[in-house]
Amino acid sequence: MTAPSYAHGTSTTPLLGDTIGADLDRAVAAHPERDALVDVASGRRWTYAQFGAAVDEVALGLLAKGVRKGDRVGIWAINCPEWVLIQYATARIGAIMVNINPAYRAHELEYVLERSGASLLVASLSHRTSDYRALVDQVRGNCPELRETVYIGDPSWEELIAGGTVVPYARLAAVAAELSCDDPVNIQYTSGTTGFPKGATLSHHNILNNGYWVGRTVGYTEQDRVCLPVPFYHCFGMVMGNLGATAHGACIVIPAPSFDPRATLEAVQRERCTSLYGVPTMFIAELNLPDFAEFDLSSLRTGIMAGSPCPVEVMKRVVAEMHMEEVSICYGMTETSPVSLQTRRDDDLEHRTATVGRVLPHIEVKIIDPATGVTLPRGSAGELCTRGYSVMLGYWNEPDKTAEAVDPGRWMHTGDLAMMREDGYVEIVGRIKDVIIRGGENVYPREIEEFLYAHPKIADVQVVGIPHERYGEEVLACVIPRDPADPPTLEELRAFCEEQLAHYKIPSSLRILGSFPMTVSGKVRKVELRETYAEQP
């Protein structure tokens, strides 16, 4: 009899029962002289003792401004040391940090501030073409609970620090004594690929443990130096990155304020990083630098790839040319803090590219029939659900939306179509809504994308379904060519697929693009590709 598509991660190591502040205190006591945080762009660096003291300064400054347990503090900034300080300082005093995408414009900023009820906002002065001060002034009147904005790199930041000097240090210990690891500590507004974003509310217990177990799975110790070109405003940066590092006494390395492939490799080389994070498109950009071979990346041993599936050819180069023999693939979502499934350090190439790993300790996963809710046998495709310490507290002030996502058994319904192998490893087939139904045949875009990555003229590819009068839907390949001057033709693409793919899987349309629309978490917005090309001939 085939086993059910259910797995439970067991471990003799218990979950952490601490708050984030208490866990940081332990790291500071254990590794006071080791590097905790390095900002390559500014040349600033902190040992754990210095970092702990800097976090306390910011925490005292927030208390001086009247921030109390449960108050929401927005952070609207590019990757910088101050972002990390706000993350740990809010956690230390029981405030709830609200992550805001640096790319947001006025309407989106207003939505998040108003919905979360943020009373204080910490912001960069600018990012690319955005003048943050002007945008805040534009929305302030519609955000009645917003009392004040502190700008990083502005006198108001120094005033925040200076204000804390009048608060007795004993206040921090008193505040910490009132905190529970189950208190909410972070609100992340999901990328909103459909509808308006919802505020996934996460506790100390949620994100501290997830960061710890992701780091433990790739073998982090105090010797590791983790290069983080991924954004802090998403779980990939602040949980898997920052908390994953500090929970093991490792060092956080910020290569640049936003992703820059050259700056990333320079940071790895200069700081002798042992781990590098990124979504596959980031690794592709790094590998495609004309002088890639000139960088000394020999210090790397591991890293994390997440956000979308990794093409086989890319993984081969990451392992062979970037020295990341122990690189790990993670699967997750903001609502689960984020990681549920992860490959292991000694997994082979096939498991690292065809699957997203197996369940992490203290988490359960199952694959169900979306129509009936019944757990399917292994080898069958259905909806992936996950349960355990990592499932969010809920969507902020949206109990109805929470009930739609988390069922009465506390299972989080991911909306992803997946299949569990006999060995417990899980393959992501696609989003349930991404499945293409062509003439009654179910077509899974991931399978076609993986095949097309091997085409010599293709650097990246996304497959979506678009309306077709006869078949209902047809297969569209959206391609980023290796050489923009010599893109593949539809005829070349179809010839490449002949004899290898069933006829109904072969793309009938092709679009050559320079880039893909992306969510904040590094996932391609397939819904936007479908909408853009649905009406085009």
Residues 259-294 have pLDDT tens digits of 999 999 999 999 999 999 998 889 989 999 999 999
How confident is residue 537, by pLDDT bands cut at 50, 70 and 90?
Answer: low
Average pLDDT value for residue range 503-516: 93
Closest to 236 in 3D by CA, of 125, 136, 337:
337
Residue 194 has a pLDDT of 43
**Residue with token string 């433990």:** 216
Complete DSSP assignment for 472-526: EEEEEEEEEESSTTSPPPHHHHHHHHTTTS-GGGS-SEEEE-S---B-TTS-B-H
Closest to 334 in 3D by CA, of 154, 250, 210:
210
Residues 354-391 have pLDDT tens digits of 999 999 999 999 999 998 999 999 999 999 999 999 99
Examine residue 24 and state whether it is found in any structural domain, yes or no.
yes
Examine residue 74 and state whether it is found in any structural domain, yes or no.
yes
Residue 197 has a pLDDT of 83
Q: At what angle do helices 20-30 and 48-64 cross, to 10 degrees?
A: 150
* Residue 182 CB neighbours (<10 A): 14
Average pLDDT value for residue range 205-224: 98
Examine residue 492 and state whether it is found in any structural domain, yes or no.
yes
Examine residue 517 and state whether it is found in any structural domain, yes or no.
yes
Residues 153-185 have pLDDT tens digits of 999 999 999 999 999 999 999 999 999 999 999
Examine residue 519 and state whether it is found in any structural domain, yes or no.
yes
> Hey, is 456 helix, strand or coil?
coil
**CA-CA distances (angstroms) from residue 170 to 28, 63, 164, 174?**
18, 12, 12, 6
User: Using CB atoms within 10 A of its CB, is residue 184 exposed (0-12), middle (13-18) or buried (19+)?
Assistant: buried
For residue 106, give the CATH number of its domain: 3.40.50.980
Examine residue 523 and state whether it is found in any structural domain, yes or no.
yes
Average pLDDT value for residue range 204-230: 98
For residue 501, give the CATH number of its domain: 3.30.300.30
How confident is residue 521, by pLDDT bands cut at 50, 70 and 90?
Answer: low
How far apart CA 448 and CA 479 sit, in angstroms, is 12
Its sign, for the CA torsion 237, 229, 85, 99, is negative
Residue 432 has a pLDDT of 78
Element (H, E) at 315: helix 312-321
Is the predicted pLDDT of residue 520 greater than 70, yes or no? no
Average pLDDT in the chain: 94
How confident is residue 136, by pLDDT bands cut at 50, 70 and 90?
Answer: very high
Domain that holds residue 53: 18-30+49-180
Average pLDDT value for residue range 121-130: 92
Q: Are 335 and 207 in contact (CB under 8 A)?
A: no
Residues 6+ positions from 395 with CB-CB distance below 8 Å: 198, 199, 200, 201, 401, 402, 405
Number of domains making up the chain? 2
- Euclidean distance between the first and the last CA atom of the chain, given in angstroms as a whole number: 49
Phi-psi category of 485—alpha, beta or left, where left has phi over 0 and alpha has psi -120 to 50? alpha
How confident is residue 193, by pLDDT bands cut at 50, 70 and 90?
Answer: very low
The residues pairing with 96 across neighbouring beta strands, listed in sequence order, are: 72
How confident is residue 192, by pLDDT bands cut at 50, 70 and 90?
Answer: very low
Examine residue 40 and state whether it is found in any structural domain, yes or no.
no
How confident is residue 127, by pLDDT bands cut at 50, 70 and 90?
Answer: confident
Residues 40-94 have pLDDT tens digits of 999 999 999 999 999 999 999 999 999 999 999 999 999 999 999 999 999 999 9
Element (H, E) at 285: helix 280-287
Examine residue 395 and state whether it is found in any structural domain, yes or no.
no
pLDDT above 70 covers a percentage of the chain that reads 98
Is the predicted pLDDT of residue 417 greater than 60, yes or no? yes
Q: Are 35 and 61 in contact (CB under 8 A)?
A: no
> Hey, is 228 helix, strand or coil?
coil
How far apart CA 313 and CA 175 sit, in angstroms, is 51
Q: End of a domain among 180, 210, 230?
A: 180
Residue 468 has a pLDDT of 84
Is the predicted pLDDT of residue 196 greater than 80, yes or no? no
Q: End of a domain among 165, 180, 195?
A: 180
- The alpha carbon of 167 is separated from its chain's Cα centroid by a whole number of angstroms, namely 36
Residue 32 has a pLDDT of 98
Q: End of a domain among 180, 197, 215?
A: 180
Is the predicted pLDDT of residue 206 greater than 60, yes or no? yes
